[in-house]
Amino acid sequence: MKSTLEELLARINILDVVSQYVKLRKAGKDYMGLCPFHKEKTPSFTVSIEKQIYYCFGCREGGNAINFVMKYENLSFKEALESLAKEYGVEVRGGGDPRRASHFDALARLSEYYFDCLKGSRATLQYLNRRGIDEETIREFRIGYSDPAGSRLKSFLKSSGVPNDVYLSTGIVRMKDRDLYDMFRGRVVIPIFDVNKKVIGFGGRTLEKDGMPKYINSPESSVFSKRTALFGIDKTRKDIAEQNEVFIVEGYFDFISLYRHGFRNVVATLGTSVTEQQVSKLRNYTSNVSLMLDGDEAGIKSALRLIGMFAEMDLNGAMVLLPEGHDPDSFVRKEGVEAVRSVVKTKKPILDYYFDYNMKKEGIKTLEGKQSLIKAVMPYIEMINDGVKKRLYIKRLSELTGVEETYFKGYDQERGTGTVPDGIDPVNIIGKKVVSVFIHNPDLLEFFKGKEVIEYVRDEDVKEILTKMLDSYAETKQLEMKSFIEVLEKDTLKEFVLSAAFDKAEYDAEELKTVLSDYFKHLKKQFIRDESKKITELLSEAEKRGDEGAVMKLLEKKRQVLTVIKNNFL
């Protein structure tokens, strides 16, 4: 596995991997972006091309490209290694979590089964055609159909080469009265892909006019959660990042219709309300999130629910309200592309819609109406972190209600921010600087090779790191961070090293040697003084016991220590 790991790390450029998930901007030699692993408003997530590592100064997550994929995709180390190895053409012995792997295999086979079933269902093809779904779109999205005839399912299961237990464990294939059946039977089936284009689940739409429920999704599994999944993200994430905006729609056919008509910075929820997990994923590609919703009251209320979440994540949340009676699918098919573009131009920040919504609902001419507006919108205004934006909303509220701006400046409500608290990890700060010096100048490890000074380091973490650094350098004559961090077994040591790797202290060659010499000289001095103190304590105890032999030996040892101090430090 080690040789495979080294070969893979040698081929990977971490910037290529991370930028598929996180929007990065150049900052000096490094790249920075919003951390995908915790909520933050100011970028503290840093990627170093030179060292091929990433590190977040907010939540202290870090590692190499494999560690990133492992964390982001919630994979085991072997699974992340296998996924990247496949992408970069590196052969890997062994595999990942067998349960997840078997689920992916079963879902991929089910997808092809549904796709094949559709070819023989004339009624379903006609239904799709009425919705503007042509053969090319069917192939691109691998749209299928679940044949209600149990015989066809049984034939597929028998010939697929995957045990029935695996299909049953996905929750899609089920058993009743010792007979196997498919939860999507009689429905149009649309596969849901993750960012790596693996099938993770399905959505099923009834063909019956009054059939209920209209849509159903795959059950939760080891690879699928409808709260985190986003339909279409596999196709549109690059367009979202390039256009720096995403439009969220509610259904599969809303997405497919917009995508077919050239709108490529779109994703869809799985027929559910937008969740925090979905928004967190999208924030990796853009800070501009627009909701394209039905123009009814339910659509507006659904968007209003997100104001606090967007404010907390420092996202620009906007709304596009479609004409009443339309959803994105029906609107683009009936009115055309230009009509959609015209409506998109009318989008407004969600909070602006909230102003309009409350003024329409309660009125603004009466005292009660003004009080209602203030009470409704001020909690959301208080959540805004952008000072200028916040003052503009306060000014607007003041103009609408006639209440002076100074009143609103004192209006505040205690609330949890959800941010990671600031603080300094209680580590050996000087030790971290020394580790940083060695990371940036590994050739200096040669200067201390074989010296006993490492033994004087009292911080056990720093001692272990320096020891492993010396061992690694002695073996390879280099110190590559992307490989070295895999040598460190403890997460605390990895975090320490990754943090030190991004320290930017600048020294010339001679200053570096001086810094290191002074550090180890200080450690040796402290070590010897500690030894002297211990000897004094032992000497006192020996004198109390009347142990003259021990007293003489300790006095001689103390004399030697004092001589070392005098010759080296005085």
pLDDT tens digits, residue range 29-58? 899 999 998 888 889 999 999 899 999 998
How many other CB atoms sit within 10 Å of the CB of residue 375?
11
Question: Rounded to 5 degrees, what are φ and ψ at 46?
Answer: -125, 135
To which H or E segment does residue 364 belong? none
* Average per-residue pLDDT for the chain: 84
Task: Determine the average pLDDT of the residues in 447-460.
Answer: 69
Close Cβ partners of 125 (under 8 Å, ≥ 6 residues apart): 118
User: What does the pLDDT look like over 256-312, one tens digit per residue?
Assistant: 999 999 999 999 998 778 888 899 889 888 889 999 976 566 666 677 778 878 887
Residues of the chain with pLDDT > 90, as a percent, come to 40
pLDDT at 410: 60
* pTM for the full predicted model: 0.66
What is the DSSP-derived secondary structure letter of residue 62?
A: E
Give yes or no for residue 569 having a pLDDT over 60. no
User: What does the pLDDT look like over 353-397, one tens digit per residue?
Assistant: 889 888 988 888 899 999 999 988 888 888 787 788 889 999 999
- Convert 211-262 into a string of H (helix), E (strand) and C (coil): CCCCEEECCCCCCCCCCCCCECHHHHHHHHHHHCCEEEECCHHHHHHHHHCC
pLDDT at 183: 95
pLDDT at 41: 82
Higher-confidence residue: 533 or 219? Answer: 219
pLDDT at 215: 93
Give yes or no for residue 157 having a pLDDT over 50. yes
Close Cβ partners of 123 (under 8 Å, ≥ 6 residues apart): 207
Task: Determine the average pLDDT of the residues in 416-431.
Answer: 42
pLDDT at 191: 98
- 408: alpha, beta or left, given left = phi > 0 and alpha = psi -120 to 50? alpha
Task: Determine the average pLDDT of the residues in 196-220.
Answer: 91
Place of tokens 């460190």: 488
* Cα 212 from Cα 189, distance rounded (Å): 15
Task: Determine the average pLDDT of the residues in 98-106.
Answer: 86
pLDDT at 570: 42
pLDDT level of residue 67 (50, 70, 90 thresholds):
very high
To which H or E segment does residue 317 belong? strand 316-321
Task: Determine the average pLDDT of the residues in 528-550.
Answer: 80
Give yes or no for residue 145 having a pLDDT over 70. yes
Task: Determine the average pLDDT of the residues in 130-146.
Answer: 96
Higher-confidence residue: 20 or 457? Answer: 20
pLDDT at 2: 54
Do 21 and 233 meet the contact criterion of CB atoms below 8 Å apart? no
Give yes or no for residue 418 having a pLDDT over 50. no
pLDDT at 564: 58
Angle of the 297-304 helix axis to the 350-362 helix axis, nearest 10:
130
pLDDT at 309: 82
Query: Which of 165-179, 480-494, 528-542 ranks highest by mean pLDDT?
Result: 165-179
pLDDT at 420: 31
Query: Which of 388-402, 534-548, 551-565 ranks highest by mean pLDDT?
Result: 388-402
* Cα 233 from Cα 193, distance rounded (Å): 8
pLDDT level of residue 200 (50, 70, 90 thresholds):
very high
pLDDT at 385: 74
pLDDT at 426: 33
Q: Which amino acid belongs to residue 451?
A: K
pLDDT level of residue 330 (50, 70, 90 thresholds):
very high
To which H or E segment does residue 30 belong? strand 30-33
Residues of the chain with pLDDT > 70, as a percent, come to 87
Q: Which of 131-145, 413-427, 522-536, 550-564 shows the lowest mean pLDDT across its residues?
A: 413-427
- Using CA atoms in the order 501, 507, 513, 517, what is the torsion angle rounded to 10 degrees? -80
Q: Which of 8-17, 243-252, 475-484 shows the lowest mean pLDDT across its residues?
A: 475-484
Give yes or no for residue 126 having a pLDDT over 90. yes
User: What does the pLDDT look like over 393-414, one tens digit per residue?
Assistant: 999 999 999 998 888 866 654 3
pLDDT level of residue 563 (50, 70, 90 thresholds):
low
Higher-confidence residue: 425 or 384? Answer: 384
